Structure 1
């Protein structure tokens, strides 16, 4: 366990950081608002020069016609004054317009209300109107953390989980709906759910959940009937197809989870049969095609990572630095080809570590970024810019204590500082001048209301809070926008805002974040943040809680949630939904789009201009001045063409790193001491470089060969402590004779057993040893949403609770 006190400008964070196999954003389908807030930070201003503030020249007032048009499509809903202190919004699918709002009042357990009360609202017009449907579930008190779970498919499946803390029933109660909440069916359970019910990734009628007594329960008919398939289950997650992974304790004690004595099991037939695929694990995670386990191989040893890419059939040890009790691991991002792994720096409270990038198997890792900032409840600023391929943004902690932003355009192969926006001058005292973007640390500490935002269909568009100078500042930040995936930036709004990307980037909306007074206006831009217009959406200002829009970026409806005092001076929740579709009525045509080459700097060699990860991508994107509607049917149009291989298609191989003062990959200092066990089992030959996973370049180009690379890595490693040198000629003769004897044995074995054996192929199986550790809290901890989905990946929330395993 690691306690962190991170001084971030004028903000301090005090939190626990542990292993985290998944780092990501909040679940876009579920949003929770509350009436609590953090204080404003001190204010410091970047210099926005008047002669360069071109965006103010086009901020003309909204015409009377447009204002009246928007007013006629603005819908305000005031909820009951006695509604709860928190609202949870859940969308039922994309493009359905169906939203559920759960309002919850939680009170002390010994009160008359037995835990609290809740109201359930439903909208089927994108939040323009809400209807109280609490009567449809007999006004049952729903769980405030995981009361609503929405699945996929058509019709839309929805499950409500009741909170029944004082009932005499042996189990809880759920309400199921296969028509997106028009009707509900009550189901009495034999158990009490301990978390959100999770849908199968392939078929929503298959459900799984853990009970409060650590039983694993499965349903094959959308919750009508349940069967307990295992006991003593710690965590679980869906794998590919209908594979289910779960960890369980062999002796039913909580300490087993802390000692790394869990077993990892797998079922492919919904609990009818089980396979034990790993023993004595500490924790596990599943991301993309990778299955992870964290283990301690012997008493008092640091933790190490094992990875499987065949759903647990075989595991191999990841070649990463081990993590002691004062360190942690975190998977920052992963897909089918590659993993970004953060390894905390050794020592107490360092607040930074090293980002490693894996090979395609997730086994060999090389340094991608040093002094990567990480702390505070698994909060990392590592951000995947989804609007442009291969782009990642994060922050580093420099030796002097300054926090600076860096960006990579080739999947972590190279990192660079962000360019200063054209319309912003540097502070007078800045020795260095770059743009620095606030991430999860700033959001968690209350410096910014939102993290950077991008959408896959809004090509090149990035919007986020930042500051200009020699390092990031905790002063009141401004909003910046990039149209080319982070290469160039533009100062667009002063002060912190809530913002949202709509209509696949054709529309951006923003509302000023104020805690000292109510808000009544929204800003919107149809030219990717260059110009803004303001619309007053209410005559009765209210305190802003946040914005809510459909999970996809194709919608043109935005809901503004907040609260004001009612006639009895009690806080009352308010929702205002604005439909911009009636303002931008013209559908975009061919003349509204332009051809754009991504990753182009327009000055390099035309043959390689725009080449990234082996190919060019040319997009058909909306012109800046085209005020039209992409629409729900908009599909990103792109053309790809291959590129010849260059040095940009390669990254440093395992055991090498890109030194800032060098133009080549250099061997890592003391690397041999960290990899002896690996070298004893693998003949690792390398030039010091490897192609970036997923790179599709063509040609026979190879980086300059480092002739000493293999010698540096494994050339001096032997399995004996003897240092006697053998002459090369004798050594060669021994090798030849040994190979001859081995081949004779193999041939004989083949003739006797009639089994085919592949010479030189090592067994991929790994035997896990018994693991023991000290009494420290070292479990995997994920920042997760209640329903267990995070940033598109299926995750599990590991904790220290361990229970009895059924024999």
Structure 2
């Protein structure tokens, strides 16, 4: 399958067998032209958009079969649609309806990607630096079916979490204590945790939120505690159990990077001032040690990690003054570790939602490094996950 024609003019979708691709053997699933740049291919699905009578119609092909119109609920009138995820044999799509301006509704499909049901209304959106739409929805790496979303409710923006690809959503719970160990007395929904969910377009910054496939359950994000998401008094939070409990780790914004597949975390302060320190954690953010990475403070422009999830080497680049050349500081963390990890350094971790282990019909058990282990996992380590089927309940069935 391929898109046939200039991207900025008129495009046709044509099919043919590679062995005998002649003009006579080309198939055209659509009688006219498809909308330019509307072809999206992800996993088992292919999507195109065709405008008919001034209204967009969205089509899906499952396992490269015939295209079928995507069927949203009866009274849905979309003017824009973005495919968010195609994992777990389901399509998650963000749809902006005729009466929405800065929000989108989330829909989840059946296996074929044809029939959609509403999952969450009024998810916030914004325009990116390149003019692209950025939807406040974050798919957590390493945990299938887990999303965080910022929803607009009564003119307030709040952060919600789901573990079953949008079927059930809950407000994020605030940490039990603040950075100084003082109790945080919160009553939902007036006091909960709200996160900034944008990933960085700048390749040398971690953005507002980060997670890794190699470190399931660990999420680092900036945000605030209160009745809604705030752009002021932003602090840093971490979870090591996939969002069930959170801890505050810094009272200012930091870039946090994963070393050795998540076995260690590095934090560098976001500041317009020159700095010479970074912070390092070996226990999933519970404790942080302060290190000097340069003798003279520098204005940090970005951080670059060595290729590979297992990296223990990073480069900080910046400048001593606004008129100086770039300065590069290469940091090798290998000397901090004195041994390789052994089987005794790992533990099993059960994914759950506030104590409920059955998520999307299965119990998932991960093998991950113990927070107390200070060792190098290296290239040989890979995440292992086993699953066990749960007994079905009424909530596991759909109409």
SS at the partner of 2:261?
helix
Match of 1:148 in 2: none
Match of 1:407 in 2: 161
1:503 aligns with 2:257: no
1:368 deviates by: 0.5
Alignment partners' CA distance in 2, 1:387 and 1:627: 22
1:648 deviates by: 4.2
Distance 1:439 1:600, change over 3 A: closer
1:413 deviates by: 1.0
Q: Which runs of 5+ in 1 are unaligned?
A: 1-243, 603-608, 651-688, 691-807
8 Å contact from structure 2 (residues 124, 136) kept in 1: yes
- Count matched residues: 381
1:330 deviates by: 1.1
Deviations 1:17-49 (A, max 9, x none): xxxxxxxxxxxxxxxxxxxxxxxxxxxxxxxxx
8 Å contact from structure 1 (residues 323, 343) kept in 2: no
Distance 1:276 1:431, change over 3 A: closer
Distance 1:378 1:600, change over 3 A: closer
SS at the partner of 2:368?
strand
Match of 2:171 in 1: 417
C-alpha RMSD of matched pairs (Å): 2.7
Match of 2:60 in 1: 307
Deviations 1:456-506 (A, max 9, x none): 121211111110000000014111000111111110112111111121221
1:453 aligns with 2:204: no
Deviations 1:655-677 (A, max 9, x none): xxxxxxxxxxxxxxxxxxxxxxx
Match of 2:241 in 1: 484
Alignment partners' CA distance in 2, 1:404 and 1:623: 32
1:575 deviates by: 2.2
Match of 2:311 in 1: 555
Match of 1:388 in 2: 143
Which is worse superposed, 262-271 or 359-368? 262-271
SS at the partner of 1:328?
strand
Match of 2:376 in 1: 629
Match of 1:71 in 2: none
1:574 deviates by: 2.2
1:405 deviates by: 0.3
- Equivalent in 53, 74, 87 of residue 335 of structure 1: 87
1:611 aligns with 2:397: no
Alignment partners' CA distance in 2, 1:426 and 1:265: 60
1:246 deviates by: 1.8
SS at the partner of 2:207?
coil
Alignment partners' CA distance in 2, 1:270 and 1:466: 55
Match of 1:372 in 2: 123
Deviations 1:292-340 (A, max 9, x none): 111123x33x2120101133x411000026656xx31111222361111
Alignment partners' CA distance in 2, 1:535 and 1:271: 64
Q: Which has the higher strand share?
A: 2
- Equivalent in 359, 362, 372 of residue 110 of structure 2: 359
Deviations 1:125-176 (A, max 9, x none): xxxxxxxxxxxxxxxxxxxxxxxxxxxxxxxxxxxxxxxxxxxxxxxxxxxx
1:391 deviates by: 0.9
Distance 1:452 1:649, change over 3 A: farther
1:540 aligns with 2:296: yes
1:619 deviates by: 2.1
Q: Which has the higher helix share?
A: 1
- Equivalent in 509, 512, 530 of residue 269 of structure 2: 512
- Equivalent in 22, 33, 40 of residue 285 of structure 1: 40
1:539 deviates by: 1.6
- Structure with more relative contact order (C-alpha pairs < 8 Å, separation 6 or more): 1
Distance 1:427 1:620, change over 3 A: closer
8 Å contact from structure 2 (residues 88, 144) kept in 1: no
8 Å contact from structure 2 (residues 176, 185) kept in 1: no
1:633 deviates by: 0.8
Alignment partners' CA distance in 2, 1:270 and 1:585: 57
Alignment partners' CA distance in 2, 1:468 and 1:613: 29
Match of 1:438 in 2: 196
